[in-house]
Structure 1
Amino acid sequence: MFRLITLCCALWFVGVAHAQGYIGRMLNHPVPGGIAVVELGQGQAPGVTYEKRSVMVVRDTNQQWVAVVGLGLKTPTGEQSLEVSDGKTRRRVPFQVGTKHYKEQHITLKNKKQVNPDPAQLVRFEREYAAQIRAYEQFRPVTPSNVLLDRPVSGGRLSSPFGLRRFFNGEERNPHSGLDFAVQAGTQVKAPADGVVTIVDDYFFNGKTVFIDHGQGLVTMYCHLSAFDVVVGQTVKRGQVIARVGSTGRATGPHLHWNVSLNGQRVDPAIFIGAFQP
């Protein structure tokens, strides 16, 4: 009987040791536009890359190091793999990417130039787009204060979800790369985690825009704002007011468009606030 009890206890402890951690349970939705949380073992924190880009590595509640990997909307389904290095050896760690269907959205805009910009506006857009891509691709070796994020605005329903195939005046454009919150103009926008402000600007499509770099490739963007409460280079704390909601840029009414990027890939912000819909 004693041996049986000992064996059961041993098996229980093994099960606990291999139980998925809190970050894995909350964030692991490995689909195109989602996140893969891949366990890497214990010991020292390894370095990880996916498609030659550095990937966030944090310790989960089960004491396992995990890679938190952003999967763009164009990520192929099936087996993908990470390159993991401990400084001496390199290994390949595979993971699976499933499927997800995204709906369509049809929008009518009175300003036709926001559907088909003229040549000068296209030059402006390309310049602004390049600045945004540079901000998204930054990888500061700082662990984020929290990877489960706060909602950037209080109240309001979630309107246009991430991944929508968007049609403006009947013409298909890029899928919706963020999550929209239907809230009143002037609503305070707050930082969902500590970070450094990298962009404060007024863009052709996005309107008044703020970017925050939270560390290890986690970057958030806030669009269609009416006013700014921060400047480039400013350090912000979780919960700090950074801007006010508006309807600037390509917007049909007041709302907040919120983007989240990991390792240079736009992913579904709903995952970070516990609102993901499979």
Structure 2
Amino acid sequence: MPFKRLIILFCLAILTLPAHAEGFITRLLNKPVPGGVAVVTLPEQSEAPRAHYQDQPLLVIREDGQRWIAIAGIPLTAKAGNEYIELADGEKVAFKVTDRKYPEQHIKLQNQQHVTPDPEHLKRIKRELDEQISAYKTFSARQPSNLLFDRPVEGRLSSAFGLRRFFNGEERNPHSGLDFAAPTGTSIKAPAAGQVILVGNYFFNGKTVFVDHGQGLISMFCHLSAIDVKVGDELARGEHVGKVGATGRATGPHLHWNVSLNSTRVDPSIFIGAFMP
């Protein structure tokens, strides 16, 4: 076969390949299941597109210098099927959610108030919940320093995200984070750079820290024995946040770590490369 014809065939083969090969971030984060993450390629333009999902602004970054991608957190309540990201000009970009089943977890608590709180405690819980929901809605302009997160603590994974939870036989909200079993006093470190936006001592969560990593990507650490940061602190990746404990609704020392995108709690295991389908 003449060399010139080989060149032509090679060029034709290149044209039949996908326009964009998957980048590292897409391979790491694209787990489009309830409680997961969808990575969606956006139309090309010179500046970062503005995108929303379920009326919440989305994290948008340039992947591998090739294309704009939106990174959307999918609620645990989402059903299998098509979902849509909306752009500033009204254009909609579809992505598909696939089903995922989560197992059950049964927990025995000594304090019945942590199962069925009395009216006075319910007032406190409502006030604290509103405060935390407001923190989850934070959307700052900063770009996350990294999306492959470090594990915030050394310890085994003890309770997975999304478990249907039963306390003393009564079903409550699904498990919204990832638990690490570790001794009281174990250092907790920031999995990525960020700013401390909320600290508190809450009825269910105990001693708690929220860190804003940028563009709606938030980490929450709770049940701490000690908080060693304050609101406004800028943390580098790997910097000390506090210590593992068992404050709030906890049966023993561990770190409960939430990751939130577009005000939606998602499976933290995705961000540390430990996701199990």
TM-score w.r.t. the length of structure 1 is 0.95
CA RMSD of aligned residues (A): 1.4
CA deviation profile, 1:196-223 (whole Å, cap 9, x unmatched): 1011111000000000011100011001
How far is the alpha carbon of 1:17 from its aligned partner? 4.9
2:42 is matched by which residue type in structure 1?
Answer: L
- Please show how residues 1-278 of structure 1 align to structure 2 within 5 Å: 1-9=3-11, 11-12=13-14, 15=17, 17-44=19-46, 45-61=48-64, 63-85=66-88, 89-154=89-154, 156-278=155-277
Distance 1:68 1:190 in 2: 24
In structure 2, relative to structure 1, the CA distance for the partners of 1:138 and 1:56 (3 Å cut) is same
SS class of match (1:90): coil
Q: Which runs of no fewer than 5 residues in structure 1 stay unpaired?
A: none
Distance 1:67 1:11 in 2: 29
1:100 is matched by which residue type in structure 2?
Answer: R
Distance 2:182 2:245 in 1: 9
SS class of match (1:260): strand
How many pairs align? 274
CA deviation profile, 1:111-139 (whole Å, cap 9, x unmatched): 11111111111111110000000000111
1:61 is matched by which residue type in structure 2?
Answer: D
Distance 1:7 1:42 in 2: 28
Distance 2:39 2:164 in 1: 26
2:209 is matched by which residue type in structure 1?
Answer: V
In structure 2, relative to structure 1, the CA distance for the partners of 1:41 and 1:20 (3 Å cut) is farther
- Percent of pairs identical after alignment? 57
TM-score w.r.t. the length of structure 2 is 0.95
SS class of match (2:140): coil
Q: Which runs of no fewer than 5 residues in structure 2 stay unpaired?
A: none
Could you list the structure 1 runs, at least 4 aligned residues long, displaced by more than 6 angstroms after superposition: none
| Matched-pair contact (CA < 8 Å) for 1:30–1:71 | yes
How far is the alpha carbon of 1:52 from its aligned partner? 1.2
